[in-house]
Amino acid sequence: MINPKGLYKAQRAKSQMQKQLEQIYAAEEKRGIKVVVRGDKKIETIIIDSEEQKELKDLINKAMKAADKKVEKQLRSSVNVDELKDILSGF
């Protein structure tokens, strides 16, 4: 059986880690193009020739989110539920 306290701890730890990742930034710039990405792999800004490209940023982030959902769905279908219960019961 899944330990509810353990599940809560795991969810809380995930939430805290997510907040930390959102505070990490990396930027690269080349030939008038600058990209800033957060630690959670979300694009913060894209600037081309001094103009922010919000629509392009939003489109890329949307595509990344769609890819994440497909990966998650694939992983869910391949995970053994009994093994997952055993893992979570240890928390």
pLDDT tens digits along 11-69: 888 889 999 999 999 999 999 999 999 999 999 999 999 999 999 999 999 999 999 99
Q: What is the model's pLDDT at position 1?
A: 58
CB 42 within 8 A of CB 61: yes
Q: Is the pLDDT of residue 84 over 90?
A: no
Note the pLDDT tens digit of each residue in 16-30. 999 999 999 999 999
Which amino acid type is present at position 10?
A
Write phi, then psi, for 51 (nearest 5 degrees).
Answer: -115, 125
Spatial separation of the C-alpha atoms in residues 60 and 90, rounded to whole Å:
38
Provide the residue range defining the domain that includes 43.
4-89
Q: How many domains in the chain?
A: 1
Instruction: Report d(CA 3, CA 75) in Å as an integer.
Output: 22
Report field, pTM of the whole predicted structure over 0.75? no
